[in-house]
Amino acid sequence: MKLAQTYKALGDPVRLKMVQRLSENPTYTLGSLSKGLGVTRQGARKHLMMLEEAKLVRLVPEGRETKVLLNKASLTKAKSFIAELERQWETRLEALRDFTEQ
């Protein structure tokens, strides 16, 4: 799974709201998660499919409902990507300083 796919999946207000809700409360179902987002149930379903494709959530059928589970590992990966970029810049700036001060 590519990081770019994670970013793309999170790069939308509706999907980000879904992920935020899930991180606050792990008991959402497809039905309850789709409410109050300002999109139709069908639209919400499309957004969820994108999150599932990016492995950010898992959809688990349970009786007549479908539970939506957040995959925290994918989120952590996205977070460590930014941390890694920050670390790279620190190293580069130090190298720039060392070179310029020679």
Partner 1 sequence: MDPASQDVIQKEIIISAPAERVYSAITDPEKIVAWFPNEVEGSLAVGERPILSFGADGKTQLYIVDARPHEYFAYRWVPGSQHFMGDVLTVPNTLVEFFITEEAEGTKVVLKESGFASLPSPHKEESLKDNNGGWEFMMGRLGKLFAAN
State the residues that interact with partner 1 by CB under 8 A. 3-4, 7-8, 10-14, 16, 19-20, 23-24, 50, 75, 78-79, 81-82, 84-86, 89-90, 92-101
- Contact assessment for residue 29 and residue 66, using Cβ atoms and an 8 Å cutoff: yes
Q: How far is the CB of 40 from partner 1 (least distance, A)?
A: 12
Three-state secondary structure of the chain: CCHHHHHHHHCCHHHHHHHHHHHHCCCCEHHHHCCCCCCCHHHHHHHHHHHHHCCCEEEEEECCEEEEEECHHHHHHHHHHHHHHHHHHHHHHHHHHHHHHC
Closer residue to partner 1, CB minimum distance, 22 or 67: 22
CB nearer to partner 1: pick between 65 and 86: 86
Give the residue with the Cβ less far from partner 1, 1 or 93: 93
Q: For partner 1, give the closer residue by CB, 65 or 93.
A: 93
CA distance 33 to 49: 13
Least separation in angstroms between CB 1 and partner 1: 15
In whole angstroms, how close is the CB of 16 to partner 1 at the nearest point? 6
